[in-house]
Chains A and B, each alone.
Chain A
Amino acid sequence: GAVVSQHPSWVICKSGTSVKIECRSLDFQATTMFWYRQFPKQSLMLMATSNEGSKATYEQGVEKDKFLINHASLTLSTLTVTSAHPEDSSFYICSARVVSGSAYNEQFFGPGTRLTVL
């Protein structure tokens, strides 16, 4: 099946620093990837839709200047949390949408990245 990886799996940083999280589709090309945020014991909330070669589409209430998304290739999307603060601490999960084959339109999820901002 389709595999999506994320790197790093866990990052701890000081307040004010920027952190980049990578999301890769390992065995398929993904023109569309999604970024979600999950608070402890809560559900996933869609932050933004990442489109290869164009600007990301952000959900209402998500600061685009805070959460920079770049989808420069068909297998890689990056989320950069700029000037991170403790309230940005969360579990960030990406997914990639399959556009061909038997799993058409299905989203495959990465294992998540835990961000802790001190």
Chain B
Amino acid sequence: AQSVTQLDSHVSVSEGTPVLLRCNYSSSYSPSLFWYVQHPNKGLQLLLKYTSAATLVKGINGFEAEFKKSETSFHLTKPSAHMSDAAEYFCVVTINQAGTALIFGKGTTLSVSS
């Protein structure tokens, strides 16, 4: 069965330092993977997606993620955190080969201090 695990419920960084949000997945086929960001009381915004093309995916706002099949990981990184990056981040995986249904990780809260 398909599943997604976000390894950290809360990550705290200082402004200007790197960000690493970890995500592992389990799938019986080659899934599509996404990272979404949600600011307080807001909807979801797609940061980036992997759909079997390049394994290093670049997204918006300086974020990128690398799909590592051998490690079943899709960690999200950013070289330098900004205060505006503070939000909830969800790693998402498709649960069927048609890609029509998604399951969400439990989320990681990113805090950025000045």
The secondary-structure label for the interface of chain A is: strand
Total count of chain B residues near the partner, CB < 8 A: 20
Query: Chain A residue with minimal CB distance to B45?
Result: A109
Query: B99 contacts the other chain (Cβ, under 8 Å)?
Result: yes
Determine the chain B residues whose CB is within 8 A of the CB of A106 once the complex forms.
46, 49
Determine the chain A residues whose CB is within 8 A of the CB of B101 once the complex forms.
34, 46, 49
B107 touches A105 (CB 8 A): no
Minimum Cβ distance to chain A for residue B6 (Å): 9
A110 touches B43 (CB 8 A): yes
Query: A43 contacts the other chain (Cβ, under 8 Å)?
Result: yes
Query: A42 contacts the other chain (Cβ, under 8 Å)?
Result: yes
Write the B68-96 contact mask toward A (1 if CB under 8 angstroms, else 0): 00000000000000000000001000000
A49 to B96, CA, bound (A): 14
A32 touches B42 (CB 8 A): no
Determine the chain A residues whose CB is within 8 A of the CB of B99 once the complex forms.
105
